[in-house]
Amino acid sequence: MNPRPPLELFLRRIVARSLLTEADQDAILSLPGKAIEVRANRDFVRLGEHVTNACLVVEGLVGRFGQNKDGARQITSLHIPGDMVDLHSVVVPHAPAALQAVTNTTILQIPHDKILDISHRHPNVMEAFWRDCVVDGAISAQWVLNVGRRNAQARLAHLLCEMAVRYDKIDRARGLTFDFPVNQTHLADCTGLTPVHVNRSLGALKRAELVSMTQKKVEILDWKGLVDIAEFDTAYLAIASPLEAHEESKHEARA
Amino acid sequence: MNPRPPLELFLRRIVARSLLTEADQDAILSLPGKAIEVRANRDFVRLGEHVTNACLVVEGLVGRFGQNKDGARQITSLHIPGDMVDLHSVVVPHAPAALQAVTNTTILQIPHDKILDISHRHPNVMEAFWRDCVVDGAISAQWVLNVGRRNAQARLAHLLCEMAVRYDKIDRARGLTFDFPVNQTHLADCTGLTPVHVNRSLGALKRAELVSMTQKKVEILDWKGLVDIAEFDTAYLAIASPLEAHEESKHEARA
DNA sequence: CGCGACTTTGACAGATGTCAAGGCTTGTGG
DNA sequence: CCACAAGCCTTGACATCTGTCAAAGTCGCG
């Protein structure tokens, strides 16, 4: 329950994209937070709710869920440890979608007013938060393209590529293998497909030996091949991060 | 070519969501800008480009375009007068998508460094810009849901509802009629459909007397009916805007 | 008047969805 | 250690929505 380590994870994510002074960084690390546990498939923020905390994912996986009248769900974004799921709520405290834990997860709740406070005291920090929200938006835009104009296999491949890069960023050691605690229904909700069709399309990717996915663990067998099918281009994620060049070459080398 | 009026349009948009002092507002109005004309179907920012200006739409319509390897296009967002199309580029100067004029449009180019400058001098302004980017992201998230989990008619209806509210916001007088200078191919690119299918689905909406759409002019004949098909909820757009309540009731009243 | 861009329509094809059943894991309790 | 239940994955047969291709109709403009 010590809030320090989770905030460091968050800080690492932030400084990967923004230049901050010692003082700026200390301000972020000094943010108070209350850790809570959320069980799988439980909403912890509801649609339309007025929120007063931002939620940092410490452990687990969180999705933003939209919904149809017929009950069809669409996951609008996925958040891994170190992500502030709804940093945007600091400036727009009205939840435009429900937040649900995909697997059992630990969340650190950080009061908006504290975040606003350090933001106004440290303009660099505010800029960094702004930037973080922008990257989030860029990911959403990519998802629109993914869901709108790619076939089932490409959609899945793209999602896997994105998550591979994002997980890799928070845990360099894992490389092209990562824990991804979702079931095929979640994949369907991310890609705008049905679970049955996800099953078949994922099966095709497996048969092509591009990826293996057994019980919540993804292993990318052929990075180049998967990127090719997905038409994946890291740029939208990697923005302003010098790491990405390395990533790319590392992946290439391995593939 | 006088940059004052366009910036006022932008300012109006900003203050609709954020509280700014006189000084803050003056800072925004004092932003320098260079107006350029862009012909229909012309890119003015290319994918991957490093940009140094942000682009304010003065007149016309702009889309963010993503693309497939087969050349299928997906419009990721649409921007009307008063929108700063790529305010996000101020903090992430790498263009994640091409920007293209949908119709002949005039753009005001504003240097990033000037925007950053006033942002750091006026934290309220930075917060307002941050907020604006967040709303943009919320729209993208809605589009993911739209394209991922709605059928053709609902997708179109949703797009029309969204644009109606957004146009209404910049020009109260027009109400449920607005100029929307797109062709059916653009609608297809927004909704992830084909032009042919847009034609048929739009035809169905027309036959149901929900909307009429002749040569670049949209008239919503049955707001309530359209909202119903679209499953449209203004909240994600209207955020923090007290106007919205009025809007809603006004539309209801008219429908 | 005639060209070009856009819209509309038809016939047919293909991708994805639906429904339903069976098999596999995993975890739990006896 | 076995048996069972619950959730998840896999598969098949068939339905439906949306896409494709192609042609004709409409509209605005030079």
pLDDT in tens, chain B (255 residues): 444 578 999 999 999 999 999 999 999 999 999 999 999 999 999 999 999 999 999 999 999 999 988 899 999 999 999 999 999 999 999 999 999 999 999 999 999 999 999 999 999 999 999 999 999 999 999 999 999 999 999 999 999 999 999 999 888 667 789 999 999 999 999 999 999 999 999 999 999 999 999 879 999 999 999 999 999 999 999 654 433 333 444 444 443
Q: Which nucleotides of D are covered by protein (CB under 7 A)?
A: 7-13, 17-22, 27-28
- A92–chain B Cβ distance below 8 A for any pair: yes
A141 chain-B contacts, CB cut-off 8 A: 64, 66, 76-77, 96-97, 140
The dihedral of CA B42, B47, B53, B55: what is its sign? Answer: positive
Nucleotides of C under 7 A from a protein CB: 5-11, 15-20, 25-26
Alpha helices in chain B (DSSP H): 4-15, 22-29, 112-121, 123-149, 152-170, 184-191, 195-207, 223-230, 235-238, 243-254
Best of B64, B130, B227 to disrupt the A interface (most A CBs within 10 Å) is B130
AA letter at B153: Q
The candidate with the shortest Cα–Cα distance to B56, out of B37, B83, B31, B29, is B83
| Nearest C-alpha neighbor of A239 from the set A79, A89, A147, A128 | A128
Q: How long is the CA A180 to C1' D10 vector, in angstroms?
A: 20
- CA triple A50-A54-A58, angle to 5 deg: 140
Report the run of H or E that residue B62 belongs to, with start and end.
Answer: strand B62-67
Of the partner residues B68, B135, B140, the one whose CB lies closest to the CB of residue A144: B140
Test B140 with A145 for CB contact under 8 angstroms. Answer: no
| Residue B121, CA distances (Å) to A124, B24, B116 in order | 11, 9, 9
Q: Phi and psi (nearest 5°) for A42?
A: -110, 130
CB contact under 8 A, A48 and B76: no
Q: Residue with structure tokens 């960094």?
A: A128
d(CA A14, CA A6): 13
Q: Is B19 on the interface with A (CB under 8 A)?
A: no
CA-to-C1' span, A179 to D3 (A):
31
Burial class of residue A214 in the structure, from the number of CB atoms within 10 Å of its CB (0-12 exposed, 13-18 middle, 19+ buried): exposed
Proximity of residue B100 CB to strand C below 7 A = no
pLDDT in tens, A2-52: 445 789 999 999 999 999 999 999 999 999 999 999 999 999 999 999 999
CB of A202 under 7 A from strand D?
yes
What is the sign of the dihedral through the CA atoms of B158, B162, B167 and B172? positive
Within 8 A of B143 by CB-CB distance, chain A residues are: 140, 144
Nearest by CB to residue A141, choosing from B73, B96, B231, is B96
Alpha-carbon distance B63 to nearest alpha carbon in chain A (angstroms): 12
Closest residue to D8 (CA to C1') is A183
pTM for this one? 0.93
